[in-house]
Amino acid sequence: MRNITKRFPGIVANDNITLRLRRGEIHALLGENGAGKSTLMSVLFGLYKAEEGKIYKDGKEVEIKNPNDATALGIGMVHQHFKLVEVFSVLDNIILGAEETKFGFLSKKAARKRVVELSEKYGLAVDPDAKIEDITVGMQQRVEILKMLYRDNEVLIFDEPTAVLTPQEIDELMIIMKNLASEGKSILFISHKLNEIKAVSDRCSILRKGKYIGTVDTDKVTKEELSSMMVGREVKFAVDKADANPGKTVLEIRNMTVPSKIRKRDAVHDVSLEVRAGEIVCIAGIDGNGQTDFVYGLTGLAPVSGGTLLLNGKDITSASVRQRMTGGMSHIPEDRHKHGLVLDYTVEQNMVLQRYFEPEFSDHGFIRFNEVRKYSDSLINEYDVRSGRGSLTAARAMSGGNQQKAIVAREMDRKHDLLIAVQPTRGLDVGAIEAIHKRIVAQRDVGCAVLLVSLELDEVMNLSDRILVMYEGELVGELNPKTVSVEELGLYMAGAKRDNMKRGEDKT
Amino acid sequence: MKNTKDKKLKLPKMEGFISALICIVCGILVGFVILLLLAAFTPSIPVGEALSGLGIILGGPFASGSGADVMTAIGTMFFEATPLIMTGLSVALAFKNGLFNIGAPGQYLMGTAASIITALSIPTGGSAFAGFIVWIAAILAGTVAGVIWGMIPGFFKAFLGVNEVIVCIMTNWIAANLVSWIFKGSRYLNVASGHTAYTLKTSVNGVAAPKLGLDKIFPGSNIDISIFIAIAMAVVLYIVINRTTFGYELKACGSNRDAAKYAGMNVKRNIMLSMMISGGLAAMGASFFYLNGNIEFAWETYSSLPDTGFNGIPVALLAGSDPIGVVFSSVFLRYLGKGGYNLAGYTGFNEYVSDLIVAVIIYFAGFANFIRSYFPEVGAFFRRIIAGKGKKDADTAETLTAKGGENR
pLDDT tens sequence across A470-480: 988 889 989 99
| A495 conformational bin, left if phi > 0, alpha if psi -120 to 50, beta if neither | left
Q: Does A338 touch chain B (CB under 8 A)?
A: yes
Domain assignment of residue B368, yes or no: yes
Q: What is the pLDDT of residue B406?
A: 31
Q: What 3-state class would DSSP assign to B233? A: helix
Q: What 3-state class would DSSP assign to B252? A: helix
Q: A382, A397, A384: which is closest to A347 by C-alpha?
A: A397
Q: Does A312 touch chain B (CB under 8 A)?
A: no
pLDDT tens digits, one per residue of A191-234 = 877 788 888 888 888 888 778 888 888 888 887 788 778 777 66
> Closest-CA residue in chain B for A3?
B408
Measure the CA–CA gap between B221 and A297, rounded to whole angstroms. 62
- A62 pLDDT exceeds 70? yes
Domain assignment of residue B125, yes or no: yes
Q: What 3-state class would DSSP assign to B397? A: helix
The answer to whether the CB atoms of A7 and B400 lie below 8 A apart is yes
pLDDT tens digits, one per residue of B56-99 = 888 889 988 888 889 999 999 999 999 999 999 999 999 999 99
Domain assignment of residue B126, yes or no: yes
Q: Does A331 touch chain B (CB under 8 A)?
A: yes
Q: What 3-state class would DSSP assign to A317? A: coil
Q: What is the pLDDT of residue B291?
A: 96
Element at A79 (helix H, strand E): none
Which residues in chain A have Cβ-Cβ distances shorter than 8 Å to B396?
A: 9
Instruction: Give which of A5, A11, A321 to mutate to test B binding, by max B Cβ within 10 Å.
Output: A321
The answer to whether the CB atoms of A362 and B245 lie below 8 A apart is yes
| Domains parsed from chain A with CATH numbers | 2-231 (3.40.50.300), 249-493 (3.40.50.300)
Instruction: Give which of A353, A387, A407, A411 to mutate to test B binding, by max B Cβ within 10 Å.
Output: A353
Q: What pLDDT band is residue B366 in, cutting at 50, 70 and 90?
A: low
Neighbouring CB atoms inside 10 A of B202's CB total: 28
In angstroms, the separation between the Cα of residue A178 and the nearest Cα of chain B is: 38
Q: What is the pLDDT of residue A6?
A: 63
Question: Is A156 within 8 Å of A125 (Cβ atoms)?
Answer: no
CA A426 to mean position of chain CA atoms: 4
Measure the CA–CA gap between A13 and A32, rounded to whole angstroms. 12
Which residues in chain B have Cβ-Cβ distances shorter than 8 Å to A367?
A: 243-245, 248
In angstroms, the separation between the Cα of residue B379 and the nearest Cα of chain A is: 14
Q: What is the pLDDT of residue A287?
A: 74
Question: Is A227 within 8 Å of A448 (Cβ atoms)?
Answer: no
The answer to whether the CB atoms of A321 and B261 lie below 8 A apart is yes
In angstroms, the separation between the Cα of residue B196 and the nearest Cα of chain A is: 49
Domain assignment of residue B191, yes or no: yes
Measure the CA–CA gap between A1 and A16, rounded to whole angstroms. 10
> Closest-CA residue in chain A for B402?
A51
Question: Is A173 within 8 Å of A141 (Cβ atoms)?
Answer: yes
Q: Which of residues 400-429 of A touch B (CB under 8 A)?
A: none
Question: Is B106 within 8 Å of B176 (Cβ atoms)?
Answer: yes
The answer to whether the CB atoms of A342 and B5 lie below 8 A apart is no
Which residues in chain A have Cβ-Cβ distances shorter than 8 Å to B9?
A: 392
Element at B1 (helix H, strand E): none
Q: A199, A218, A207, A292: which is closest to A33 by C-alpha?
A: A207
Mean pLDDT of A47-52: 78
> Closest-CA residue in chain A for B254?
A342
Domain assignment of residue B35, yes or no: yes
Measure the CA–CA gap between B74 and B260, rounded to whole angstroms. 45
Measure the CA–CA gap between A183 and A121, rounded to whole angstroms. 10
Measure the CA–CA gap between A29 and A16, rounded to whole angstroms. 15
Strand A186-191: give its sheet, edge to edge. A60-62, A52-57, A2-8, A11-17, A211-217, A203-208, A26-31, A186-191, A155-159, A75-78
Measure the CA–CA gap between B273 and B253, rounded to whole angstroms. 12
For B124, list phi and psi in degrees, rounded to 5. -105, -15
Q: What is the pLDDT of residue A42?
A: 81
Which residues in chain A have Cβ-Cβ distances shorter than 8 Å to B375?
A: none
- A487 pLDDT exceeds 70? yes
Interface size A-B, in CB pairs within 8 Å, comes to 86
Neighbouring CB atoms inside 10 A of B169's CB total: 17
* Burial readout B43-52 (b: 16 or more C-beta within 10 A, e: otherwise): eebeeebbee
The answer to whether the CB atoms of B404 and A5 lie below 8 A apart is yes
Least confident of A442-446, B44-48, B75-79: B44-48
The CATH number given to whatever domain includes residue B233 is 1.10.3470
DSSP 8-state symbol, A154 = S
List, in sequence order, every residue forming a beta bridge with A256; answer none if it has no partner: A271
Q: What 3-state class would DSSP assign to A28? A: strand
Long-range contacts of A348-351 (CB under 8 A, 24+ apart): A348/A372, A348/A373, A348/A375, A348/A376, A348/A377, A348/A391, A348/A392, A349/B248, A350/A395, A350/A406, A350/A410, A351/A375, A351/A376, A351/A379, A351/A391, A351/A406, A351/A409, A351/A410
| B181 conformational bin, left if phi > 0, alpha if psi -120 to 50, beta if neither | alpha
- B3 pLDDT exceeds 80? no
Q: What is the pLDDT of residue B379?
A: 56
Question: Which distant-in-sequence residues (6+ apart) come within 8 Å of A192 by Cβ?
Answer: A30, A31, A32, A33, A160, A230, A428, A429, A430
Which residues in chain B have Cβ-Cβ distances shorter than 8 Å to A52?
A: 404, 408
Among B248, B255, B397, whose Cβ lies nearest the Cβ of A356?
A: B248
- B286 pLDDT exceeds 90? yes
Q: What is the dihedral angle through the alpha carbons of A187, A192, A198, A204, rounded to the nearest 10 degrees?
A: 50
Task: Identify which has the larger pLDDT, A30 or B173.
Answer: B173
Q: What is the pLDDT of residue B63?
A: 86
Question: Is A414 within 8 Å of A36 (Cβ atoms)?
Answer: no
Domain containing residue B213? 2-374
CA A487 to mean position of chain CA atoms: 23
Domain assignment of residue B388, yes or no: no
Question: Is B119 within 8 Å of B292 (Cβ atoms)?
Answer: no
The answer to whether the CB atoms of A51 and B404 lie below 8 A apart is yes
DSSP 8-state symbol, A346 = B
- A114 pLDDT exceeds 90? no
The answer to whether the CB atoms of B404 and A325 lie below 8 A apart is no
Among B258, B264, B405, whose Cβ lies nearest the Cβ of A322?
A: B264
Gyration radius (Cα) of chain A, Å: 24
Domain assignment of residue B384, yes or no: no
Q: B248, B238, B322, B236: which is closest to A362 by C-alpha?
A: B248
DSSP 8-state symbol, A361 = T
Measure the CA–CA gap between A120 and B196, rounded to whole angstroms. 81
In angstroms, the separation between the Cα of residue A194 and the nearest Cα of chain B is: 32
Q: What is the pLDDT of residue A21?
A: 83
Measure the CA–CA gap between B239 and B234, rounded to whole angstroms. 9
Neighbouring CB atoms inside 10 A of A188's CB total: 25
Mean pLDDT of A413-436: 87
pTM over 0.80: no
% residues pLDDT > 70 (chain A) = 92
Supply the ipTM of this predicted assembly. Answer: 0.78
pLDDT tens digits, one per residue of A328-348 = 999 999 888 889 999 999 999
The answer to whether the CB atoms of A321 and B264 lie below 8 A apart is yes
Q: What is the pLDDT of residue B240?
A: 95
In angstroms, the separation between the Cα of residue B256 and the nearest Cα of chain A is: 6
List, in sequence order, every residue forming a beta bridge with A424; answer none if it has no partner: none
Mean pLDDT of A90-116: 79
Among A52, A333, A389, whose Cβ lies nearest the Cβ of B8?
A: A389
Mean pLDDT of A371-375: 95
Tell me the residues of B at the A interface, defined by beta carbons under 8 Å apart: 5, 8-9, 243-246, 248-249, 251-252, 255-256, 258-266, 395-397, 400-401, 404-405, 408
Number of domains making up chain B: 1
The answer to whether the CB atoms of A392 and B397 lie below 8 A apart is no
Q: Does A351 touch chain B (CB under 8 A)?
A: no
- The top-scoring range by mean pLDDT among A423-427, B291-295, B344-348 is B291-295
Domain assignment of residue B386, yes or no: no
- B408 pLDDT exceeds 50? no
CA distances (Å), A55 to each of A49, A63, A158, B308, in order? Answer: 11, 7, 19, 56
Q: Does A16 touch chain B (CB under 8 A)?
A: no
Measure the CA–CA gap between A83 and A315, rounded to whole angstroms. 43
Q: Does A356 touch chain B (CB under 8 A)?
A: yes
Task: Identify which has the larger pLDDT, A45 or B402.
Answer: A45
Q: A360, A349, A423, A458: which is closest to A393 by C-alpha?
A: A349
Q: What is the pLDDT of residue A99?
A: 73
